[in-house]
Structure 1
Amino acid sequence: MSDGTVTEIGWSSADLESRRERWSLPLGDTDRQLLGADARAGRWDLAQGVRKTLDTFVRDSIRSVGFAHVRNLIDPAASEDAAVTGLSFVLGEFGQIVVQNAQGDLTQVLRDRDGDGATELGFHCDTCDLLVLLCLQPAVRGGGLTKLASARHVHDLIGRERPDVLTTLQEDWTFDRTGRAGEQVVVSPILFTQPDTTVGCYYQTRTVRSSPERGGPPLSARQWEALAVLDEVLYRPEIAFGLAMAAGDLLIIRNSRVLHGRSPYIDEPGPNSRRMLRIWMNTEVL
């Protein structure tokens, strides 16, 4: 088991490409089947070895790079209900599942509901400790990559290039989330130092820009410039890592240390449409 020590790494896209074993774990079919059997039974039995492997890997990966990727966790042919059951069983080791919206949903299947091809999602952080994504079906025509960016790397790069902007991003910003689950108005720096000395982040690109329209403080010219610089940095190829997920793959992201988004894709209606199962969690152990 991990000893709980945080060994933060501020990574670039090239760093992740060259060190996949640090953050991506392939699960064999036999281990996946044992895990599925225990999930259906609702207790750990046959898959105790898999349990230990997953526990150590997920904890160590999140404490170093801020996220963990497990390939082939769930049978790609499993139904959505079976996928939810299997994933919820595994996640019980790491924290508590929390509601995602005002309707009280504990799980959501993300898909392109508009069908207009405008499927890119800007970098942001969700309002929970852990974002969990399980790929049910990737985009069959390509695209739809999950994009990741290290808060530490973004912080250090902006600090070198634009220390004035970093100072602005370290000030309090207002995020009006009225009508959503959880805290309705969040006041937080966008980049900050956490108690464990890691660099933290809290960012929602649309919310921070629209908050003044909902009664929040107006954004100054200095703040608008800081947001523009932040977005430009986040979209640099060396910062934004694109992760292609296959059906059955799991991704767990520590929201306070890794920003995420999604590259555009053109969906295909019907059973081949891109679908991603999302769960939010809070935790004291990761």
Structure 2
Amino acid sequence: MSEHTVAEIGWSSLELEARRELWSLPLGEQERRLLRADARVGRWGAAGPVRERLRTFVRDSIASVGLAHIGRLVDPAQPEQEITEAVSFLLRDYGRIVPQNGRGDLTSVLRDQDGDGNTELGFHCDTCDLLVLLCVQPAYHGGGLTKLASARHVHDLIGQERPDALATLGENWTFDRSGRAGPQVVVTPILYPQKDGTIGCYYQTRTVRSSPDRGGPELTDRQWEALGVLDEVLYRPEIAFGLPMAAGDLLIIRNSRVLHGRSPYVDEPGPHARRMLRIWLNEGEAWTR
């Protein structure tokens, strides 16, 4: 693939699985060793060719399907702090790391909080350009899959079945994010055409429904119905792809193209507890060089 030929692809779960070569790249032990050595000293050296291979693959994968998966990017046996520093170094090629919360945290480790892993995390988009997830430890008993849905595919399907609902989803909606990092109030369509011809998305299922309680405009019956249509489509089994991530795997998601969520899991206390490193990136000059 090249930047002149890559085109957006709207995909179902089966289509994404069938075209895994477009978005998933496993790394070999030697490549991982070279990357780890350069990350430790904080400058590029012997891993230069691996770096360029990754840059090209990530750019093209995100341009086509909206996500990129790198298998076994890091050695999960490393100390967690060393993993975080190495990943942060590698991500400089793709954008600027931005805070995820009001405390200004640039990284966070997602883990079960008082049993909330038992509850499915609904589809949403984070408020950054690129969401990065690195699996430090998968759920010991299974589950905890990262669920992914193509905005293009969802948009086109709703347009065929319920054009009235799609028109409503294309109007401005209010997302009151008071107290969080980034814009406090986001006013945007949920599904919409972007300037580059791709279909964009912005959705936070709880935030949009609770914003009227924080001073936002009341939702109309038409809007409530459109949200119901969107959720019904997102939870069809053929729509969402469930990605099981192994320890050391990295996933980059373009938030304006792919909605994501998480399936439930039962955690194991102690060293086998599920842990996912999360980083938010905003694109900059580094991405276009």
TM-score with structure 2 length normalisation?
0.97
CA deviations over 1:131-188 (Å, ceiling 9, x no partner): 0000000001000000000000000000000000000000000000000000000000
| Equivalent residues in 2 for 1:30-179, closer than 5 Å | 30-115=30-115, 117-179=117-179
* Alpha-carbon distance between aligned partners in 2 of 1:265 and 1:31, rounded to the nearest angstrom: 32
Give the deviation of 1:3 after TM superposition: 3.0
What's the C-alpha RMSD, in Å, of the aligned pairs? 1.2
Match of 1:18 in 2: 18
CA deviations over 1:71-95 (Å, ceiling 9, x no partner): 0001010111111111011100111
Amino acid paired to 1:190: I
CA contact (8 A) 1:192 1:199 kept: yes
Q: Percent identity?
A: 73
Give the deviation of 1:119 after TM superposition: 3.2
| Equivalent residues in 2 for 1:244-255, closer than 5 Å | 244-255=244-255
Structure 2 alignment gaps of length 5 or more: none
* Alpha-carbon distance between aligned partners in 2 of 1:3 and 1:10, rounded to the nearest angstrom: 18
* Alpha-carbon distance between aligned partners in 2 of 1:78 and 1:192, rounded to the nearest angstrom: 42
Deviates more, 1:109-118 or 1:225-234: 109-118
Match of 1:194 in 2: 194
CA contact (8 A) 1:119 1:266 kept: no
Deviates more, 1:5-14 or 1:86-95: 5-14
Give the deviation of 1:237 after TM superposition: 1.0
* Alpha-carbon distance between aligned partners in 1 of 2:51 and 2:107, rounded to the nearest angstrom: 22
CA contact (8 A) 2:137 2:247 kept: yes
**4+ residue runs over 6 A deviation:** none
Distance 1:116 1:22, change over 3 A: closer
SS in 2 for 1:92: helix
* Alpha-carbon distance between aligned partners in 2 of 1:197 and 1:116, rounded to the nearest angstrom: 38
* Alpha-carbon distance between aligned partners in 1 of 2:111 and 2:4, rounded to the nearest angstrom: 36
* Alpha-carbon distance between aligned partners in 1 of 2:23 and 2:117, rounded to the nearest angstrom: 31
Matched positions, count = 286
SS in 2 for 1:268: coil
| Equivalent residues in 2 for 1:215-226, closer than 5 Å | 215-226=215-226
Give the deviation of 1:120 after TM superposition: 1.3
* Alpha-carbon distance between aligned partners in 1 of 2:77 and 2:3, rounded to the nearest angstrom: 36
TM-score with structure 1 length normalisation?
0.98
CA deviations over 1:10-47 (Å, ceiling 9, x no partner): 00111111111110000001100110000001111111
* Alpha-carbon distance between aligned partners in 1 of 2:81 and 2:201, rounded to the nearest angstrom: 33
CA contact (8 A) 2:117 2:144 kept: no
Structure 1 alignment gaps of length 5 or more: none
* Alpha-carbon distance between aligned partners in 2 of 1:9 and 1:20, rounded to the nearest angstrom: 13
